[in-house]
Structure 1
């Protein structure tokens, strides 16, 4: 057989297949009942006019009359998607995928659309705190888009919300594998290791997150927490200064800087970052307490009382701040006020022995003062 004859026979065979395909398509169209086609056309017209609710009604009628009507299922999916009914939209598009549609370009779009729809439905479920349902929907999304690192990562967050860190770890790792440039899974793995006391592993994960995205404030904050827990206060301060330079509204970062400086007995240096924390959030009782602690360490007792009062007015039973107030009043010789605050703070087991000792000392001082009169 000559090459020319072979090409002619191939063309004839291809032409025959095309004709057969067209014939089958015509048969499929012919298979739709006139009533179903009528409702489909009415729904399609309303869909084009953005009358999505009435379009959905017409198209529901069409697929009710003919459950194999792929084009009607596809259009119904589009109508429900526009109405935000993601579950109904996905159901319709799944049916369109099973039964087929008349246009190849639309058929090619269906898997991507399904991936997006299940993803949106999952995000809505998570927002409503229905975490188990969200996981199922994210997994459905991954059937159509298995490389969606954000879906994998958010499944991990759902497991964290369900207090299932062991299940979150492999999903976070899968998210990293799907997109090595995505920093958040590294950060979340760092959080898990830090909460378990695995500080070396936590530091590695936070450092990887920072290497991927140096602007990720939360990774810097996590690394600083590791360094504080490891008593590397100077390292923590340097990391936190980087974090607050990236996000001047990161109030907790300023509080942690101030706290670390207080632990290093650098009370005067702690004032500025703690004032910055108060500036970011005036209701931050922890910032007010640490500010009182810094003033107490500097011997600025009246300023310590002012900040301490601001702290206890913003948080009920704030025993840490009550002890600061008691100590500051005691240093000023205001024994009645000191007795009041020590008597309140003694309810906290952490301060029970200290407050009992101070109350005994103050009672003795008062008795001695009265005896000298």
Structure 2
């Protein structure tokens, strides 16, 4: 029996030893340590074995700015490619970026240093702020009137802006295509200032200036390459009025319509020179194409249509060459004390009335039959 007890004790001790060995091999039981159970500073850098904290052990957002010391995350601690676009929120200041390039579409505001621009005058280069373009310089003493992009939008303002025109300092007012309505105002020409339109069919001066005219002429000046249109219902209507002035009028169209007396070109104590002028005057009362009072105009290559074509009164000498005059009442009226000389001109419609000195050479009617001056 004593021997049996000994065998039993050995067996128990063997079992206990085996259990103790298994327990020792299994190690202590595993427990979870939360952040609240760790005192501030308890886990130091030295207490963490190298590479023991993997990304999978850090919850998203667990490492906040407040938990990182100033300068703790240095460049060597950031793996290449670890900072992706998805991990960057908000703008990044240019000062935090190294040397880099941008496409034009990337630049939405701000300025570019001139050192970054190819400055010069060649192709694909940017001109400097103090550059000059000799070929694009505006000519001196040229004022442009245009509906947009010119110096003025109204020819009245352009003329009013000139105060120093002279024989040694002449001006040109260039009127670009368009209709310029002057209303009741008169465009008064100035000496040594030419007014040039862009063509009779493209530049039109329109107004109802009455007896003062839509345009008033001036000596030592020319009006050319445009149309003057006058209209009105009260009083006389005048397209161009030359009072004691002798302008050049060339490549013009003058269109006048009035309910009372209407005049295409009215010359008073004037000696204008007209060439390549088309005058058309209509109305319910007496109409005059070119009316001369104490005046001596030279008229060449003119086409005149009115109740009375060329009407000269009181005194003066009219020279008419290479023209076509149509008058429903009179083609030519030559008053006492006046002289009219006509050459190579067609007279159609009305008759010739002559009380002064009239001479004709190569004058014919609308059927191209010769016309004798009375």
Q: TM-score, normalised by structure 2?
A: 0.29
Give the greater-gyration-radius structure (CA): 2
Answer 1 or 2: which has greater helix percent.
Answer: 1
Answer 1 or 2: which has greater strand percent.
Answer: 2
Bigger relative CO (Cα 8 Å, ≥ 6 apart): 2
